[in-house]
Amino acid sequence: MKHRIVVLGAGYAGAFAAGNLARRLSPSDIEITVVNAVPDFVERMRLHQLAIGQDLAFRKLADVFEGTGVRLRLARVTGVDPGRRTVAVTGEDGEGELVYDTLLYALGSSVADHGVPGVAEYAFDVTGRSSALRLRERLAGLGAGAAVLVVGEGLTGIETATEFAESRPDLSVALAARGELGAWLSPKARRHLRHAFDRLGITVHEHTGIEAVEPTRAIAADGASIAADVTVWSAGFAVHPIAAAGGLEVAETGQIVVDRTMRSVSHPDVYAAGDCAYAIGENGRPLPMSCASAGFTNMQATAAIIARLTARDVPTIGLKYYGNHISLGRRDAIFQMVDTDVRSKSWYLGGKAAARLKSGVLKGAGWGIAHPTFGMPKRKRRLATVPDRAGARAGARAAA
């Protein structure tokens, strides 16, 4: 029987990893199944553009994996059982169960409401296509002068606020920041950011934590009321509790705790990549949830899976965070380099050149997903051994 590899999630981490595995391992020995809830690859880094009304082309995952040998299962993951090596799913075909020998968990993250009252009921977000389309519909119905409040001063909040203000100058856009806007940027980059906000007419409420969201306003920690016909929540990300519920060892964040090779420290048949992996970078700190981290972790996970299945030494991929690339609308951006301690360096790139660079990064990431096996070595490696599944399952039951 073939070794069954199941990849959960076809985002930036999962889609490329599946293609890499298909390119490197012999189809005579393996079968690869990708489970994803929607039929398209969703460019999460562009969802704020989708929300404000820009038209984006979505790639069909069936086309992405055509000719690679990768099987696509359109379904939502409802549970994992690492003891039995199974994944529970539900989709158009009803409920089902997939059995795996190796699992790559890459389900990503969603919006974190931090328990703030009213966020789930009244706030919008841009962490998924369905939520971005819901926000798009709401924004399209707003008239001139309507108030839009973006909560969160991170990359998503900044990109969302500037994109909205540039695309819809008739709206009154504001951003609520717990601290100082761009405090983590270098002084010159921070000034560039503030000039962009001034140019776009965005109101900034600094040192303003939002403690509640209501249909037409947000309530700050000091009791102040901020008018908002629409509140967009971008104050962090959270992972789904599926991994923790299945018994995998997770961090306080709910992310799967992995070793240097992205292998679960509690279940050696499970690997994690992307936002759901609690991976320690070269600086000794957890990698941030980001597209860059998804790239590093998926390359390390696939390299480790291939090496272990083919009885080779496991290579190590660099886990270093290099910087932040922030869009400020379509014609402006900031590229801020950071040092090994993730502190901003004095140098930064801003303006149209940075915007062109960011556009190139986005196009490159999208092209890479559309061609998941491009540039990979063509040699198909055979597995070193064929797993004894019956014995492995019996051992797992005995250990339990």
Distance CA 136, CA 16 (A): 28
Amino acid 384: pLDDT = 85
> Could you read off the pLDDT of 131-141 as tens digits, one per residue?
999 999 999 99
Query: Do 209 and 42 form a contact (C-beta atoms < 8 A)?
Result: no
- Say if residues 253 and 146 touch (Cβ distance below 8 Å): no
Closest CA to 238 of 106, 112, 108, 105: 112
pLDDT at 396 over 50: no
Q: Which pLDDT tens digit goes with each residue over 100-130? A: 999 999 999 999 999 999 999 999 999 999 9
Position 362 scores a pLDDT of: 84
Residue with the two structure tokens 């983590």: 184
- Pick the most confident of 52-56, 68-72, 247-251: 247-251
Instruction: Taking residues 315-338, report their average pLDDT.
Output: 90
Q: Residue 293 and residue 280: Cα distance in Å, rounded?
A: 11
| 143 CB-contact burial (10 Å; exposed 0-12 / middle 13-18 / buried 19+) | exposed
pLDDT band of residue 373 (cuts 50, 70, 90) is: low
Q: How remote is the C-alpha of 392 from its chain's centroid? A: 33
For the ranges 41-55, 315-329, 378-392, the maximum mean pLDDT occurs at 41-55
What percent of the chain lies above the pLDDT cut of 70? 94
Helices and strands (DSSP H and E) totals, the chain: 11, 23
| Lowest mean per-residue pLDDT among 16-20, 36-40, 121-125, 336-340 | 336-340
Distance, CA of 40 to CA of 59 (rounded, Å): 5
